[in-house]
Structure 1
Amino acid sequence: MKTWIPCELHTHTQHSDGQFTVLELARAAKETGRESIAITDHNTLVPKEEIVEAMEETGIQIVRGLEWTTFYGHMVVLGMSHYVDWRNMGMYTIHEGLAKIHEAGGIAGIAHPYRVGSPLCTGCFWQYDVKDWHAIDYLEVWSQQFPPEKESNQRALALWTDLLNKGYRITGTYGLDWHAPYPEDAITAVTYLQVDRDENSCYEEQVKVAIKNGRVVVTMGPLLLFFLKNNMTSQEWGIGDTVTLSSHEKLDVSISLDEHRGQDKWQQSNRPSYVALQSNLGLLTKQALGIGEKHMNCTLDTQGLKWVRAELFGYMHDDVETMIGFTNAIYFSP
């Protein structure tokens, strides 16, 4: 059965520079309403035994990964069968490392590409020369606490949009970069992944498939769901899908907010919010939602569209108007 799972994809433990043990991190994830985490310590893989112990005690699903921490950029790598060394990679040879990561069964995402770099944080600012963006599986569009208000994340969002406009189907994610307990009033986001909870399926593989296929929603508030439908054929497309049409058509748009997902601290305030549809053609529509309203419907003209995503805007703490969350794209075939 397909379902949306709240995850944290960028964390650290005492195996690198985090304050948590693996078990403490899993407990903290459970306390904050997450159902899954990826442990991504700097240039090291956490022992499987500790992961198994933490999963058995807490019920939290844990994906084994690492943060490839180099002089020219950081990459979050998930699901590798074995460690892949970064030390032979130069600024212009990143594709050799990406090929090895993929050969080891992993997926690679650029972490916080515009965070302040050297000398404050060596390698935090992305400097690698990416010649083929098809080799990048995902991009950490949002990072850290209260992510939409950080200039570095605004630049990352613009980069992601530009790459989508150029035809690259790169998935946008969030990473708290979780090193230690954060204050009770901290505003964080969560990455929702659409996975198959079939007991016979490997959860780690499901996570990799969800990220690679763009079945991802990022939010500080409710889970934002987005569908397109052709009423003539009853065909429906969701986040990450590709729409194939024989001719120029209009499709029905359905957007809904699932406010039952996540903890209270992630929910938006009681002031009005609005939903926007963003695309390669720019802003397509913006529609206000009344207080308590959870659904938006409209019609979408598909002419000229390559991709479209939904974005939710509202207020946090009743005084800061900001982007609350975004979906990944629904694509259109040429």
Structure 2
Amino acid sequence: MDELSNLSKSREADWPAVLFFIHIHLLSIYGIWLLFFEVKWMTVLLLIALTSLATLAVNTGAHRLWAHRTYTATKELRLVLMLLHTLVGQGSIYSWVQYHRLHHALFNTDVDPYDHKKGFFYAHMLTRLKKLSPYQEKLKQQIDMSDIETDSIVMFQKNFYWLLYAVLFLLLPLNAPLEYWNDSVMSAVFVMGFLRYALVLHAAWLVESGFCIWGLKENDKYPSDSNLVFFINQSFWPHYHYLIPRDYKVGEYGTYDSGCSTAFIRVWVALRLAKDLRTIESTTVHAALAEAIKTKKPLKLCLQEATKVQHLPEDHYLK
């Protein structure tokens, strides 16, 4: 602890990341123009498909499966999710999980890399342009990754990430429009390259920054969420995720059991590709949320009372 207290908590700019993201976003603007005026429909469909699959892999794979262990998956499903996660271009699953677990360990503190108190722009993008502080780096090294290190599929991706990235993220998506439906080189590079990269990155970043959009502001007194208006409806569910992160039903964007990721996990269970879903009953959660609103007690206390347990550590699986 003394060693930690002596480390600096200030973060320096990561200039290679700054230049990288500037180029990605500027060049993707031309990709948007091509998308509306020149690109072929097959390229548009491929863009939608690859962006959707990559986002699904982040939400249900890196986040729900590996970071929080909300369910278990067969080797075949883990292999597919690993390959699809490579389409995100956000680093290996190992590094993604380590960074996300650090975020949960430091959530609601001033040293959280995605400190939501600094606003959406900081949590969503500005933090990506900074290096971790020496204090945060030390804490990241202490994150327990032993379960991930026993997963041969994740470690294979970690060891061969840049080869997989070159083939799956760059070579195949950029070559497909040229090879199979004779689209232009410009469309392949700027739409399937830069624009796709920008779209997938922002979708993946919402896993950490979505709390600023769909989570309640401090002292807000909204009713239990109804999910009627997806993009503007705020609820307690993002808070609940940070209280009990190992509930598979909590979506990334403010929903509970009606999200796309939750639906896909249930489909995989039906196909016998996944099992051991970890959750608590919806009625129990609703009762705790209603009690918190009615009594103004801390939500964590209401959840503990509703589930009749004294302590809910992050590594506790709720059956």
Confirm or deny a common fold (TM above 0.5). no
Q: Which structure has greater helix proportion?
A: 2
Bigger radius of gyration among the two: 2
- Which one scores higher on RCO, CA 8 angstroms, separation ≥ 6? 2
What TM-score, normalized by structure 1, do the two folds share? 0.27
What TM-score, normalized by structure 2, do the two folds share? 0.28
